[in-house]
Copies of this chain bind each other. A is one copy, B any other.
Amino acid sequence: MARQSIKIQDVARAAGVSTATVSRALSNPKVVSESTRKAVLSAVNETGYRVNRAARNLRTQRTGSILTLIPNVGNPFFSQIISGIEQVFSEAEYSVLVSDTANMALEDMPLSHIFQDGRADGVILLDGFIPLPSIASVKGTPHEKHIIYACEWADSAGLPSIRSDNRAGGVKAVSHLAALGHKKIGHISGPEDNVLTHVRRAACFEAAKAHGLEIRDEWIFQGNFELASGAAAAEAFLALKERPTAIFSASDLMAISFISNLMDAGVNVPRDVSVVGFDDIDLAPHYRPALTTIRQDRKRLGRLAAETLLSRLRDTPEEDAEMLRVVPVELIERASTAPAPE
């Protein structure tokens, strides 16, 4: 129960060896003899010694931390992804830092600073919107390989990307509606500046075309993935002279508030209109009608991103080549979709 902080010197003294040997016994046990290893370990226990990270980090030129850059920490969508990331990295003895890009002013803060400062050994970008000059600042540095995208991405950044199969998701959603006999479909999209928006919308159009479905410009409602924009889409939908019989929404949140507002106006889901969401949030099966949706496995996505970064930090050259990992998605049929009316 020593009070003042115990340092490696104290352990060395207690074990009757040099500090070098203590250090080796702790971080590279196989190079010391068994007897000294035991002596060191018991001295460590006696003294309650813990390695000081600042000292180790300074010496080894690493930090033992990774940083996640998140567009909005308050958005519950990210919690499962972060959880997956944290799981993998805590097991690998890394600390996980979270930063909200909204509080960061990335325009005048190159990502290279994160490494120069010694804040993290690697970065996971959950935000496809990091300014490219900021990203470019690491090009040509040893840390170039230690930044990856998860979930969102930007093509021009030239960074590895772990993402859900957004295209397959859009195709599955629309094909499901086609199989139910719908001929006219609409779409609630994400915000225009988001990559996911474009991929999911393109997939929607692609599948609609493949199945010979009609899809008019006025049936595309621009949202922002959040609840309120589903309500706005409902308002626009209700004002339509001619309505589609089915909607593919690019997020569950928009789907839910869309449905609630349709129901309020006496339009029944799924009898009058079928709705497919995207995400499969925890609440989806508990909403009424239970939401048919495209499940993305966010925890798995987080874990996969973490494993990818980890192997790059450990410098496994084989895997470095892989620039894209796609996590499969799944159609979950529930009660918000039904055969097309008459």
Footprint of B on A, CB under 8 Å? 3, 5, 48, 50-55, 57-58, 63, 65, 72-80, 82-84, 86-87, 90-91, 95-100, 103-104, 113, 116-119, 140-141, 227, 230-231, 253, 256-257, 260, 263-264, 282-283, 286-288, 299
Chain B: CB-nearest residue to A227:
B286
Q: Which residues of B contact A5 (CB under 8 A)?
A: 116
Whole-angstrom CA separation of A98 from B79 in the bound complex: 11
One of B53, B76, B78 near A118 (C-beta < 8 A): B53
- Residues B286 and A288 in contact, CB atoms below 8 Å apart: no
Assuming A79-B78, A256-B286, A283-B227, is B100 touching A86 (CB within 8 A)?
yes
- Residues B97 and A97 in contact, CB atoms below 8 Å apart: yes
Assuming A79-B75, A83-B100, is B90 touching A53 (CB within 8 A)?
no
- Residues B90 and A83 in contact, CB atoms below 8 Å apart: no
Q: Which residues of B contact A72 (CB under 8 A)?
A: 83
**Subset of 13 A-B contacts with CB under 8 Å:** A5-B116, A52-B117, A54-B63, A72-B83, A73-B82, A73-B86, A74-B80, A75-B79, A79-B79, A90-B103, A96-B97, A260-B288, A264-B288
A50 to chain B, nearest CB (A): 4
A286 to chain B, nearest CB (A): 4
Of residues A84, A99, A257, A288, which shows the largest number of chain B Cβ atoms within 10 Å of its Cβ?
A288
Q: Which residues of B contact A54 (CB under 8 A)?
A: 54, 57-58, 63, 118
Q: Which residues of B contact A299 (CB under 8 A)?
A: 74
Chain B: CB-nearest residue to A114:
B50
Chain B: CB-nearest residue to A50:
B116
- Residues B91 and A103 in contact, CB atoms below 8 Å apart: yes
A309 to chain B, nearest CB (A): 16
- Residues B51 and A117 in contact, CB atoms below 8 Å apart: yes
Whole-angstrom CA separation of A18 from B230 in the bound complex: 61
